[in-house]
Amino acid sequence: MGRFRNSTGLDLLFHTAKQGMTNSMTTTDGKATTPTFSQQAHGTAYSTKRDGLNFNNCDSEPVQTPGCVQAHGALLVLRLADLCIVQASDNVQAVLGLSVEAMLNGPVGAVIGVDGEQQLRDLLIGQSLDRNPVYLLSLPAGRNKMGMAGMVDVTVHAIDGVAILECESTGHTGAVSADYYAMVKKTVARLQTAHSLLAFCTLAAEEIRDITGMHRVVVYKFHQDGHGEIFAESRRTDLAPWLGMHFPAEDFPKPARDMFSKIWLRPIPDISGALAEMVPLVNPDTNRPLDMTYCFLRGVSIMYTEYLQNMAVSGSATLAIRRNDQLWGLIACHHYDEPKHLPYQVRAACEFLAQVVSLQHNAAEDREHLAYRLKLESTHQQLLTVAAREGGVAVLAAGVPADGMPSLLDGIEAGGAALFHDGQWCRVGQTPDVTELTDLGEWLNDVQLAPNKEPLYATDCLVRDYPAAARFANVASGLLAVPVSRGGRDLMLWFRPETIQTVNWAGNPHDKAMVAGPNGPRLTPRVSFALFVESVRERSLPWTLVEREAAAKLRQQLVELVVDIAEQRSTLHAELANSHAELDAFNYVTSHDLKEPLRGIQQYASQLTEDAALLDNQDRNKLDRMVQLTARMDSLLESLMYFARIGKAGLTLDTVHLSEIVAEAVEMVRRPEDRHLELILPRPLPIVRCNRGWCREIFAHLISNALRYTAADPQRIEVGTIVPGELHARPGCPRASLQHTIYYVADNGIGIHAAYFSHIFKLFKRLHGRDEYGGGTGTGLTVVRKLVERHDGKIWLDSQLGCGTTFYFTLPKGDARE
C-alpha cells in the first residue's frame, strides 16, 4: 500500500530547516545540556552558531530565537524608552566599525548619527513599526569593514518592547540601477492577463527571476496532506527541470510554516556564510531571548545550509504565497556559483509582488474554473429549489429526481454521493454500503466534524485518516463531507474512487540519513536528488478549491433552509394541534348532542314497529328501514366519539409481550366461521413499550380486516417484525429498517388496488358496498392510523389484487426491547 511519506527534503528550497531536535547545548566546561522550550523562553542562553544540535525530528527547533544572525549584516537591539543599545551581534566591528563594548548601553546615535537617530524617532512616532520592518537609511560605504564595496542598508521594526535595527551590506553603491516601480507595474499587468492558475504562477516565477537575477525560481504548492509539488518554474537553460517534482511534508515542518504565515520574504544571500552571535544572548532587561521572526538577518539552521550545499546552491530567497491567511505555497529563488545579495529596493519589490500574487492567484484560479463554478452554482440552486418545494433535504440524493431536477452528482464531480437525514441514508452513484456509511458517519461526526472543528472535511486519501476505508477504497478513496444540520448529525458526502498515481520525488523520500555530531547522532539531508518514482494507491483525484467552496456554500444554504423549514413546521404543528383540539372537542360535543334526538327517533320507530299489525306492508318496510338507519347512524356517531376520545386521551406506556397482545386481538375478532385460520409468527414476537389497550386494538382492527376480506381457504395471516438494520425482501418496505422496529400484518385476501392506498385511511371511507364483506362504518383503519400516530409512528401498506395485503407500522415510543 503506497502513500506519500515524509522524510527530510524540502529545505533544499526553504527556510531554516530541520528543526526538531534534541536541543543539546555545550556549557563552558564542555558538558552537554538539553534546554527545553520553557527554559529558552525564560532566558536560557541558546545559539545556533555556538551550541551543537542533535536532530531527531523536525518540529522543535527554536527557529524564532536562534541567538545569531547572518554575518553579512549586523543587528542592534534598542530599548524603546531611551533608544539605548541593549544587545548587538558580535560582528558589529566588521560591519559598522565600532566594537560591541563601545556600543552596548550607549545611544544609537553613536552608530547611525544624530540625524539618523532623529529619523528613527520620527519614524517610531509617525508609523506603526510593530512587526513591520521598514527602510530607515543607508550608512556610507566607508563604514563597511566587510571587504564588500557598497553601502549598509538599515531597516527597523519593533517587537516586544524593543526596536531592532538590521544593518546589511548588500554591495550596492547608492545609485539606482533599475526602475523597480516600472518593473513591478509591468509584472502586475502581465499577471492580470493569465487565464489559468498554472499560467499565472509561471508568469510570477518568470517576473521574479527577472527582477532578482536569480538562476532558478519555482512556485511550490502545498497539497492538502502537507506534501509539496513544484507547480511552476523559471530557470537558467542549463539547469535540470524540477517541474512536477514532489517533496514530503516533513521537508517543510510546522515551525517554518508558522514563520511564513507571518513574513513575506526570507533572504539568505550566502549559504556558506558565517553566523554572528548576539551579545548578550538574552535581553538584560527581560532575561528573554530575542524574537527574530521578522528579521531578514535571522540565523540559519545547519540542516538548511547543508541541504542547499548538497544541491550546489550558493544563495537563496523565499517568498510566501497566502490564501485567506493560510499558507498556500512558496516562491523559492536559488542562485548558483556565488552568493547573491539583494539590495533593499529589490527585496521591497519582491515583497510587494508576493502580496500581489497572494491576492490575485485566487482570482486566476477563479478565471480558470469559471465555467465549472457557474455550473455548480446553477445545479445547487436547482437542488435548493427542490428541497424547499418538497419540504426537506432527503430529495437531494434521489437517484431519479422528480421533474428531471438534478441530484448531488450533477453538481460536484464525484463517483457517488450520500445523504444522512432523518435517521436514514440516501445514496446515488457508487458509494460504500449502508453499514460502512453508518460507521463512517459516526467517525466524521465524532472526530473530523466535531463542534470545535471546521464544518468541512476533504481528503484525497481517506484511508490515511480512517484506516477502515481500505475496505471500500475502490469507490471511496476520496471524500468531501459537510454537516447539514446545526448541532445534529446529518451529513452530505461525495466520494471519488481510487486513482492509481505515479509520483516523481526529488530523491528517495524515505531516506533518513544520520551522522555523528558533536553531541550524538543527528539527521543530515540527503545528498542524491535523482528522480525517484513511486506508485501510489488508495488515493483519488484531489478536491479543488472551487469544489470545497461550493460544498461549503451549499451546506450553509441547506442549514438555513432546514432551519426555515423547521420553524415553518413548528408553526404549522402548533396551528394543527390547536385545530385538532378544537375539532376533537367539536366532534365529541356534536356527536354527544346528536345521539339524544337519535335515541328518541329510534325509540318511536321501535314502538311503531310493535304495532305493525295496524300497518300495511309498505309502511312496515319503511319502519324497518328507519330502525336500520338509526342503528347505523348510532354506530357512526359512536365511532366518531371514540375517534375524538383518542385524540384527547393521554398516552400511557406499558411493558407488554407483543405475543400476548396478538393472542388477545385474535380472540376478540375471530368468528365461528374462521375455523381454518392459520396464524403465522415467523419468530417470537418481542417485548415492547406501548399503550396496551391501543396496541391490542391496532392488531384487532388489522386482523379483523384480514379475516373479513379473505375468501381463501385456509385463511392465512402472518404477524411479524423487522428489526433495525435487518435486511429483508418484503415488498413495499425499505430493504433495511434503519431506526425503528417495523411491525406488519399480512394476509392472503382479495387485495387492494394501488389507487386506493391513500383513501382507505380516511374517516368513513369504504371501498365496497355498505353490506358487503360484513358491512362496517369505515372507521377502523382511521382509528388504527390515529393510534399509531399517537405512538409517533407511521402506517402504510403494500397490496396486489387477488394476492393479499400487508400493513406495516412503527411505534417509535415503544420500540422492541428484545
- Grid-cell match 465524532, residue found: 446
User: Sign (positive/negative) of CA torsion 406, 408, 409, 413?
Assistant: positive
Same domain membership, residue 714 and residue 622: no
CATH number at residue 198: 3.30.450.40
- Grid-cell match 565600532, residue found: 98
Q: Which amino acid is at 454?
A: E
Q: Inform me whether the pLDDT recorded for 7 exceeds 50.
A: no
- pLDDT (0 to 100) of residue 608: 67
Query: What CA–CA distance (Å, rounded) separates 683 from 720?
Result: 7
Q: Inform me whether the pLDDT recorded for 357 exceeds 60.
A: yes
Cell numbers at 394, concatenated: 432527503
**pLDDT per position as a tens digit, 524-548:** 555 545 544 454 667 888 888 888 8
- pLDDT (0 to 100) of residue 23: 34
Query: What CA–CA distance (Å, rounded) separates 196 from 213?
Result: 25
Helix (H) or strand (E) holding 581: helix 545-610
Range with top average pLDDT, 48-52, 599-603, 710-714, 739-743 = 739-743
**pLDDT per position as a tens digit, 456-476:** 999 988 998 999 999 999 899
- pLDDT (0 to 100) of residue 40: 40
Query: What CA–CA distance (Å, rounded) separates 440 from 416?
Result: 15
Q: Inform me whether the pLDDT recorded for 280 exceeds 90.
A: yes
Same domain membership, residue 293 and residue 157: no
Q: Inform me whether the pLDDT recorded for 105 exceeds 70.
A: yes
Query: What CA–CA distance (Å, rounded) separates 593 from 153?
Result: 104
For residue 729, what are the β-bridge partners?
Answer: none
Map residue 78 onto helix, strand or coil.
strand
The DSSP result for 327-378, as a single string, is: EEEEEEEEEESS-----HHHHHHHHHHHHHHHHHHHHHHHHHTHHHHHHHHH
Q: Given pLDDT bands bounded at 50, 70 and 90, which one contains residue 377?
A: confident
At a CB cut-off of 8 Å and minimum separation 6, what does 174 contact? 138, 141, 151
- DSSP class of residue 75 equals E
Q: Which amino acid is at 550?
A: A
Higher-pLDDT residue of 593, 89: 89
- pLDDT (0 to 100) of residue 673: 67
Nearest alpha-carbon partner for 172 in 141, 197, 199: 141
Q: Is 507 part of any domain? A: no
The pLDDT mean for the chain works out to: 77
Query: What CA–CA distance (Å, rounded) separates 458 from 435?
Result: 21
Q: Is 521 part of any domain? A: no
- pLDDT (0 to 100) of residue 249: 76
Same domain membership, residue 696 and residue 592: no
Q: Given pLDDT bands bounded at 50, 70 and 90, which one contains residue 589?
A: low
The three-state DSSP-derived secondary structure of 685-733 is CCEEEECHHHHHHHHHHHHHHHHHCCCCCCEEEEEEEECECCECCCCCC
CA 740 to chain centre: 29
HSE of 659, CA atoms in CB hemisphere, 13 A: 9
Q: Given pLDDT bands bounded at 50, 70 and 90, which one contains residue 71?
A: very high
Map residue 163 onto helix, strand or coil.
strand
According to DSSP, the β-strands at 677-680 and 265-268 are: unpaired
Range with top average pLDDT, 75-79, 395-399, 438-442 = 75-79
Q: What percent of the chain has a predicted confidence (pLDDT) above 70?
A: 70
CATH number at residue 406: 3.30.450.270
Query: What CA–CA distance (Å, rounded) separates 75 from 111?
Result: 12
CA distances from residue 622 to 213, 603, 617 in whole angstroms, order as listed: 116, 15, 9
Residue where one domain finishes, among candidates 312, 338, 368: 368
For residue 156, what are the β-bridge partners?
Answer: 134, 165
Q: Inform me whether the pLDDT recorded for 521 exceeds 70.
A: no
Residue 267: CB atoms within 10 Å: 24
Same domain membership, residue 309 and residue 325: yes
Same domain membership, residue 393 and residue 304: no
- pLDDT (0 to 100) of residue 546: 86
Same domain membership, residue 188 and residue 78: no
Query: What CA–CA distance (Å, rounded) separates 544 from 198?
Result: 14
Domain hosting 543: range is 379-499+536-557
Query: What CA–CA distance (Å, rounded) separates 513 from 8?
Result: 9
Q: Is 298 part of any domain? A: yes
Q: Inform me whether the pLDDT recorded for 242 exceeds 70.
A: yes
Query: What CA–CA distance (Å, rounded) separates 527 from 521?
Result: 17
Q: Inform me whether the pLDDT recorded for 6 exceeds 60.
A: no
Residue where one domain finishes, among candidates 601, 622, 648: 648
Orientation of helix 370-390 relative to helix 344-368, angle to 10°: 50
Nearest alpha-carbon partner for 303 in 9, 33, 507: 9
Asked if 598 and 626 touch (Cβ cutoff 8 Å), the reply is no
Asked if 269 and 339 touch (Cβ cutoff 8 Å), the reply is yes
Same domain membership, residue 687 and residue 636: no
Query: What CA–CA distance (Å, rounded) separates 575 from 577?
Result: 5
- pLDDT (0 to 100) of residue 33: 39
**pLDDT per position as a tens digit, 657-690:** 889 989 888 887 777 666 677 888 988 898 888 8
Asked if 106 and 87 touch (Cβ cutoff 8 Å), the reply is no
Q: Is 527 part of any domain? A: no
- pLDDT (0 to 100) of residue 38: 34
CATH number at residue 143: 3.30.450.20
Q: Is 5 part of any domain? A: no
Same domain membership, residue 668 and residue 578: no
Same domain membership, residue 807 and residue 695: yes
Q: Is 514 part of any domain? A: no
Query: What CA–CA distance (Å, rounded) separates 333 from 269?
Result: 11
Same domain membership, residue 51 and residue 181: yes
Higher-pLDDT residue of 598, 34: 598
Same domain membership, residue 662 and residue 638: no
Nearest alpha-carbon partner for 533 in 2, 47, 12, 132: 2
- pLDDT (0 to 100) of residue 92: 92
- pLDDT (0 to 100) of residue 77: 97
Q: Inform me whether the pLDDT recorded for 798 exceeds 80.
A: yes
Q: Inform me whether the pLDDT recorded for 392 exceeds 70.
A: no
Q: Is 741 part of any domain? A: yes
**pLDDT per position as a tens digit, 746-792:** 988 888 877 767 777 776 555 544 545 444 555 678 888 888 888 88
- pLDDT (0 to 100) of residue 331: 95
According to DSSP, the β-strands at 313-323 and 275-279 are: unpaired
Q: Given pLDDT bands bounded at 50, 70 and 90, which one contains residue 508?
A: low
CA distances from residue 101 to 88, 89, 92, 392 in whole angstroms, order as listed: 9, 11, 10, 77
The DSSP result for 408-467, as a single string, is: GGGSS--SEEEEEETTEEEEEES---HHHHHHHHHHIIIIIT-TTS-S-EEES-HHHH-G
Q: What are phi and psi of 411, to 5 degrees?
A: -100, -100
At a CB cut-off of 8 Å and minimum separation 6, what does 538 contact? 1, 2, 3, 461, 462, 463, 469, 470, 473, 477, 498
Cell numbers at 740, concatenated: 425503528
Query: What CA–CA distance (Å, rounded) separates 719 from 807?
Result: 10
CATH number at residue 695: 3.30.565.10
- pLDDT (0 to 100) of residue 393: 67
Residue 494: CB atoms within 10 Å: 26
Higher-pLDDT residue of 27, 297: 297
Asked if 255 and 61 touch (Cβ cutoff 8 Å), the reply is yes
- pLDDT (0 to 100) of residue 791: 83
For 205-214, 445-454, 489-498, 565-574, which range has the lowest pLDDT when averaged over its residues? 565-574
Q: Is 778 part of any domain? A: yes
Same domain membership, residue 359 and residue 216: yes
Number of structural domains in the chain: 5
CA distances from residue 792 to 651, 665, 812 in whole angstroms, order as listed: 11, 22, 6
- pLDDT (0 to 100) of residue 298: 93
Q: Which amino acid is at 388?
A: A
At a CB cut-off of 8 Å and minimum separation 6, what does 319 contact? 208, 264, 265, 266, 330, 331, 332, 333, 350, 351, 353, 354, 357
Measured between its terminal Cα atoms, the distance across the chain in Å is: 43
Q: Inform me whether the pLDDT recorded for 714 exceeds 90.
A: no
pTM for the model stands at 0.58
Q: Given pLDDT bands bounded at 50, 70 and 90, which one contains residue 29?
A: very low
Range with top average pLDDT, 58-67, 255-264, 517-526 = 255-264
- DSSP class of residue 509 equals T
Rounded mean pLDDT, 397-403: 48
Residue where one domain finishes, among candidates 625, 648, 671: 648
Q: Inform me whether the pLDDT recorded for 382 exceeds 60.
A: yes
- pLDDT (0 to 100) of residue 3: 34
**pLDDT per position as a tens digit, 134-170:** 999 988 754 444 445 568 889 999 999 999 999 988 6
According to DSSP, the β-strands at 715-722 and 677-680 are: parallel
